[in-house]
Amino acid sequence: MKNGYGPKRLTNPHYMAIKFQYNKTSLNDIGKQLKMRQNALPTLKSKESALRLEVRRAKDYSEKLIEDLEAALKKYDYLAALWNEFEPGLISITDVDLVTVKVAGVKTPELKGISFELHEFNAFAKPAWYADGVTILKELSRLGIESEVYKEKSRILDFQRKKTTQKVNLYEKVQIPGYQEAIRKIKRYMEDEENLTKAASKIVKQRHAEEEDAEDGN
């Protein structure tokens, strides 16, 4: 295109590569893209903050469950010598029931229940603490499994938080400034072109008037 005003690309390393032309159509298109990102940015920032908070909550709760597990193990430490009296395979986990819940718009797992299989035993032939031992094992299992579920919840939320942060940075530091710079360049060119057109029109009118004056003089 003449005058070198064909499709252009911003080359500033701080801006994204934006193709544009020096005309109103390109100006309108870029303006729409800019407005869309400016409108979306506050929502993205709010989501980022919410996800950051939920990540912290999930991590804290997972750590609390681990502490509860360690405390429970210490509490029942006096029974350690008796665990050997348990029959191998007396109790086993047959299923872990997880449900999906949305946290800050992100699908995450949540523990609904744990299914245990308890093999029959003769309560009269076993020590009095045997039944209590089964209950204790179930509780210890629940604490350990729920801690892992919250650890996974935290991982999923943190992954989405990082993706959201990347998008916020892309909009705020790259795309929005890039579109703004493109708009400035297009407007500057269009203003220069308009001024040149006005100047050229003025010269043409002036010459035409001079020619008419010359003809009248003859």
Q: Dihedral angle at the C-alpha atoms of 39, 43, 45, 50, nearest 10 degrees?
A: 180
Q: For 112-122, what is the mean pLDDT? A: 85
Q: What is the CATH number of domain 2-201?
A: 1.10.287.3240
Please give the average per-residue pLDDT across 58-65, as a whole number. Answer: 96
State residue 111 phi and psi, 5-degree precision. Answer: -75, 125
What is the tens place of the pLDDT at every residue in 77-108? 776 666 666 666 778 899 999 999 999 999 99
Q: Where are the domains of the chain?
A: 2-201
Average pLDDT, whole number, for the chain? 84
What local confidence, expressed as pLDDT, does residue 202 receive?
Answer: 72
Angle at 114 between CA 113 and CA 117, to 5 degrees: 145
C-alpha to C-alpha distance for 32 and 19, rounded to whole angstroms? 15
The larger pLDDT score, comparing residue 131 to residue 100, is at: 100
* pLDDT level of residue 2 (50, 70, 90 thresholds): very low
- Residue 59 predicted with pLDDT over 60: yes
As a whole number of angstroms, the distance between CA 57 and CA 60 comes to 5
Beta-ladder partners of 109: 100
Tell me, what amino acid is at 170?
Answer: L
pLDDT at 58 over 70: yes
pLDDT reported for residue 189 = 87
Q: Where are the alpha helices (DSSP H) in the chain?
A: 24-75, 130-169, 176-217
Q: How far is CA 95 from CA 27, 116, 118, 175, in A?
A: 59, 7, 13, 48
Are 77 and 186 a contacting pair, CB within 8 Å? no
Give the count of beta carbons closer than 10 Å to the beta carbon of residue 130. Answer: 17
pLDDT category at 118 given cuts 50, 70, 90 is: confident
- The larger pLDDT score, comparing residue 209 to residue 175, is at 175
Res. 141 pLDDT band, cuts 50 70 90? very high
pLDDT surpassing 50 at residue 5: no
How would you class 23 by CB atoms within 10 Å of its CB: exposed for 0-12, middle for 13-18, buried for 19 or more?
A: middle
